[in-house]
Amino acid sequence: MIVLLPASLRSISTPPKRTHRSQLEVLASTACERRFSMSEGDEVPQKAVADPETYRESLDAWMKTQMPGALELRVHDIDMPRSTGFSNETVFFSTTALEGGGTSGLPTTRKWVARIEPPDGGLFPVQTKECEISCEVQHRIMSAVREAGVAPIPEMLPFEKDLSVLGHPFFVMEFIEGLIPADVPRYTQAGFLVDDATPANRETMVREACETMATLAGLDWKVMGLDWLDVRGEGTPAFRDQLGLYRDYCVEAVGDRDHPIIMKGLDWLEANAPDLPIGISWGDSRLGNIIWQDYHCASVCDWEAISLCPPEADIGWFVMFDRMSHEDFDAPRLAGFPTRAEQVSIWEARSGRKVADTIDYWEIFGAMRFDAIMIKLGDRMVRAGIMPEEHSIAIDNGTTESLERLLGRQGVEIRA
């Protein structure tokens, strides 16, 4: 999940000092540095996490129960960010154990990632009662997609609800080596896509991302046993379920504040909703949620926004984020990047579904969802002390500006 700041706060920034803070923490920190001129050495207010040694001991005991055949297993090299308390905590660690049978086996070291539920829960709307634990949602859908074999997903160990282990629910998955397009600075401004990739490399990445989304569009949610995502629980999910869910989410998150842009966006989306078959929507489909090895897709990540929805929503989110990353950041379009129309064509060719005539709708749906999440995220940033209470980052942000522009192209008048 990423944050698009108001135009007044955006500029090309230097890379963050620490390399393993969560994306949300990095972006929130950058927001403070831009808006409030933090001096060198200042730290964004953060909540302390458990002592690394405590985590090492807990994970050491837990991993031994998960890998009983691994002799002399030990957990080491714990690497963990500090936490603001509003995003999933990520812990990197390694295990070394004897493999090959008996005490004469060769020591083998493997890398792992633990994703821990944040104290305030996930940011996206809760689809059903079974989706209240965000990291459990991720674990369930990633396990299902891995079993279906339609997208590269790392090895997953069983989900853990026992709070006595790490204090919150969590899951552990295999660490996948590779590169990830950055959010700060945005990958269209700096980083390996700008500095190292050739036009052909960039075209390959965008093409594989669109084809991966399109392959997911062919999955049957019933066959995969994903009825736990059915909003009404009646076996007949419909797109209007998602629109209703997001309206309820926005009304609750906005409270007694005024947010005419997102409400107008919801009105327009409801009035123009297409009637399309329901499938599986990844929900946060973008280059930065894929791990890349030699410019090829090695792992598909960040599934907390999964829903039963027309899969056209994914290509809509993708082109929305692509447009924001170029146009909204005043970044020249990188050579080799397929155009919006070409991205749509790639998705259509692989999925067998047509979206060209409705892509504007799905891009606005994506911008509305992004803006909705920003309400809750902005409020969490204030509570965490990252943004001052008087700054209305929950509503006054770049996603709201972007949604307003998209609605304006459809003739929607928002401001009197």
Q: Is residue 404 part of a domain?
A: yes
Does residue 31 fall inside a structural domain?
no
% of the chain at pLDDT higher than 70: 84
- Give the Å distances, CA to CA, from 230 to 274, 307, 371: 19, 8, 23
How many domains does the chain fold into?
1
CB 269 within 8 A of CB 406: no
Does the pLDDT at position 206 exceed 90? yes
Q: Which pLDDT tens digit goes with each residue over 287-300?
A: 999 999 999 999 99
- How many Å apart are CA 68 and CA 295, to the nearest integer? 36
Tokens found for residue 130: 């079974």
In a domain, 224, yes or no: yes
- Listed in sequence order, the residues at least 6 apart from 222 whose beta carbon sits closer than 8 Å to its beta carbon are none
Question: Mean pLDDT in the chain?
Answer: 88
Tokens for 48, please give them.
Answer: 């302390």
Token output for 113 = 């990632």
Is residue 171 assigned to a domain?
no
Which is higher by pLDDT, 188 or 43?
A: 188
Does a structural domain hold residue 54?
no
Q: For 380-402, what is each residue's pLDDT tens digit?
A: 988 888 888 877 889 999 999 99
Would you say residue 27 lies in a domain? Answer: no
Query: Does residue 169 lie within any of the structural domains?
Result: no
Other C-beta atoms lying within 10 Å of the C-beta of residue 106: 8
Q: In which domain, by residue range, is 345 found?
A: 178-416
For range 307-317, the mean pLDDT: 99
**Residues 224-257: pLDDT tens digits?**
999 999 999 999 999 999 999 999 999 999 999 9
User: Would residue 235 be called left, alpha or beta, if left means φ above 0 and alpha means ψ between -120 and 50 degrees?
Assistant: left
Q: What is the pLDDT of residue 103?
A: 58
Minimal CA–CA distance to 260: which of 363, 378, 395?
A: 395
Mean pLDDT value of segment 63-87: 83
Residue written as token pair 């950041």? 329
104 pLDDT band (50/70/90 cuts)?
low
User: Hunting for tokens 């698009």 — which residue is that?
Assistant: 4
- 160 in a structural domain: no
| CATH number of the domain that residue 406 is part of | 3.90.1200.10
What mean pLDDT comes out for the span 295-308? Answer: 97
